[in-house]
Amino acid sequence: MSKKPTIHDIAKQAGVSPATVSRVLNNYAHVSQKKRARVMAVIESMEYRPSYTARSMRTQRSRLIGFIADQVATTPYAGDIIRGAQDVAWETNHILMVISTGDDLNHVQQAVDALLDREVEGIIFAAMYHRPVTVPPNIYEVPTVLANCFVEDRSLPCVVPDEVRGGYEATCELLKRGHRRIGFINVFTVTPGIPASRGRLAGYRQALAEYDVPFDEALVCFGYGAAEHGYDHTKQLMSLDNPPTALFCGNDRMAMGAYDALHKLHLEIPDDVAIIGYDNQEIIAMALHPKLSTMQLPHYAMGHWAADYLTSEEDADEVGETPVQRLLPCPFVERESLG
């Protein structure tokens, strides 16, 4: 018995992306007639039989968008991704269906099946933090965009923070204020080399180079994101023979720990040591004294962009061209901790 052809098989034979095949099957308007005919010819030649969901969607639109989150629905600030997508859904007369799956790929596949059964027009898959993800094959049955994550082969469109630019701009804010000894307490999760850690360090080094400040490895350390890591590493950095006059913390929780450490050392913020955080987790940033200057992770903007992409996207890329991989800026939010 021969293997049933997949959307990937059709895309390869037709010389288009899987997303284009999905749009043809789902009768999206923004596919050229020439490309649509080519895809349909391959579908017929391979005797591909789409699911009931795909067949029904060619005759009517459900006005439903699926939203699958790993742990994003339980985090205090990343829920803005959902809010951004929801605002576009309201504007375009769609309903957003949200499912939280955890990190279990089987749960993700079940969630996709459930959304396909309900004839969603597209799916947004969002991650709690910026990272590569594995998605089940059935997610290609409808147009899909990834938010705050990406697949390694770049076969799906995605929207993520510009980590390099964020690290660069955070460091520049300190350099512009005259600091030349800048400690960097970088984020470091159980997966080394995550985009946030790697990208922000690259941006930090780029900013130092532009200001002709030598990179000092002794000023860079890594924490797992909790306040105690910011506390411990701040004590370590301030014990150097030539301690930093400013700290760039990889998230606001570690900045909170840095505040505590500096207070214990009887150092004033920002007079003795300036601090900039990352995330703009307002429940922390606004509660600290002085209030924390930080970089805004663009959660709302990512959700908004992903939903807008699904509802208004133009024609898909040809094979050999990568589906859109969008970088969004991380805006600087100035408060009182830089002086």
Mean pLDDT across the stretch 19-23? 75
Same-domain pairing of 172 and 288: yes
Of 295, 303, 293, 294, the residue nearest 326 (C-alpha): 303
* In the chain, beta strands by DSSP E: 64-69, 95-100, 122-132, 144-150, 158-161, 182-187, 220-223, 246-249, 274-279, 293-296, 325-328, 332-333
For 263, residues 6+ apart whose C-beta sits below 8 A from its C-beta are none
Domain-embedded: residue 10:
yes
The C-alpha atoms of residue 281 and residue 253 are separated, in whole angstroms, by: 8
pLDDT tens per residue across span 299-331:
999 999 999 998 875 444 444 467 889 999 999
As a whole number, the mean pLDDT across the chain is 87
Same-domain pairing of 167 and 293: yes
CB atoms within 10 A of CB 15: 14
Report pLDDT for 170.
98
Q: Say which residue the tokens 């200057």 belong to.
A: 293
Residue 98 pLDDT > 60? yes
Domain-embedded: residue 194:
yes
pLDDT tens per residue across span 205-236:
999 999 999 999 999 999 988 999 999 999 99
Task: Give the number of domains in the chain.
Answer: 2
SS3 content of the chain, % helix, strand, coil (to 5): 40, 20, 40
Domain-embedded: residue 65:
no
Last residue within a domain, chosen from 35, 58, 81: 58
Report pLDDT for 45.
85
Q: Is the peptide bond before 270 cis (omega within 30 degrees of 0)?
A: yes
CATH number assigned to the domain comprising residue 21: 1.10.260.40
Domain-embedded: residue 20:
yes
Domain-embedded: residue 264:
yes
pLDDT tens per residue across span 104-135:
888 988 999 999 988 898 999 999 889 999 99
Check: CB of residue 306 under 8 Å from CB of residue 326: no
pLDDT tens per residue across span 131-178:
999 999 889 888 899 999 999 988 899 999 999 999 999 999 999 999
Alpha-carbon torsion angle 313, 316, 321, 322, nearest 10: 50
Q: What is the pLDDT confidence band of residue 57, given thresholds at 50, 70 and 90?
A: very low
Token digits of residue 314: 């133009």
Q: What is the pLDDT confidence band of residue 12, given thresholds at 50, 70 and 90?
A: confident
Report pLDDT for 308.
93
Domain-embedded: residue 326:
no
Structural domain for 168, as ranges: 163-297
pLDDT tens per residue across span 73-97:
666 667 899 999 999 999 988 999 9
Q: Say which residue the tokens 């059935």 belong to.
A: 138
Same-domain pairing of 51 and 175: no
Q: What is the pLDDT confidence band of residue 53, given thresholds at 50, 70 and 90?
A: very low
CATH number assigned to the domain comprising residue 181: 3.40.50.2300
Domain-embedded: residue 145:
no
Domain-embedded: residue 96:
no
Last residue within a domain, chosen from 20, 41, 58: 58
Q: What is the pLDDT confidence band of residue 274, given thresholds at 50, 70 and 90?
A: very high
Least reliable range by pLDDT among 7-11, 64-68, 257-261, 335-339 = 7-11
- Residues β-bridged to residue 125: 68, 146
Report pLDDT for 28.
65
